[in-house]
Amino acid sequence: MISRESGVSVVEALLVLLLLSVLVPGAWSVVARHHTAALRVAHRAEALETVRTVAWLLREDLSGGLPDRDWWMGGDTVALRAFRALGLVRNGSVRGQELVACVRGIRMPNPEKDSVLLLGAGGHWRLHELESRIRLPGGCPEVAGGWEERWVLVPEPADPVLGRIFEGGSYHFSGGALRYRRGGGGRQPLTPERVREGHLQDREGSFVWEMSLTEPPGRLPGLEWRGKAW
């Protein structure tokens, strides 16, 4: 015969089991929904970061040049002179192949990969190879954040006023990302591999980019974006 105390314990145990059978699946359902929501937020944040990266890079690099002189379209590729620094030539500093310039830019000039476009006093640009460069002591009071360098150029500069340092490169939508290629190297990804499809086009006298982004399987359709770089 089961005692009253034992009977109460059995009822309580059954009640607890009943409550667990109801609450645990509900709790797991809530956790699963939160996990799914968190993944969607993370995916959307990554997608928006991809859009911002593409928009900033293309606009930044192409807005500094002119079409058919500093960048060229071809299929899904845009080849360009990616300008990295600017040099104001010191008056009277030209000696044969050498000159001294007050330089400012997003990085130091690099003779291994950079060339120079020199603006002459007559208003014409001329292409030169940067054979070597040396940073000189002291700064450039007339250019905020600038520094002084001695450049050796080929061919010999003639009456230069301003120099623009650039590297030759190209942008591509390939392999699920926006990629950049410098010289003969491979295409390096600049964004997460979230690009389902991307296009680089010269449309109505302007350079535009279009892309659609992937979303997690079974979720919302991919985001589509269009931007103008020039």
Q: Are residues 160 and 100 in the same domain?
A: yes
Q: Are residues 124 and 176 in the same domain?
A: no
Q: Does pTM top 0.85 for this prediction?
A: no
Q: Tell me: the pLDDT tens digits for 128-151? A: 999 999 999 977 887 888 999 999
Of 150, 167, 184, the residue that ends a domain is 167
Residues near 222 by Cβ (< 8 Å), separated by ≥ 6? 196, 212, 213, 214, 215
Integer angstrom CA distances of residue 204 from 132, 139, 229: 41, 44, 13
Q: Are residues 54 and 64 in the same domain?
A: yes
Q: What is the pLDDT of residue 101?
A: 96
Q: How many domains does the chain have?
A: 2
DSSP 95: B
- Counting as low any pLDDT under 50, the low residues of the chain are 1-7, 218-221
- Please indicate, yes or no, if residue 216 is contained in any of the structural domains: yes
Nearest to 181 by CA among 167, 197, 195: 167
Give the residue numbers spanning the domain of 186.
50-77+169-228
Of 143, 167, 191, the residue that ends a domain is 167
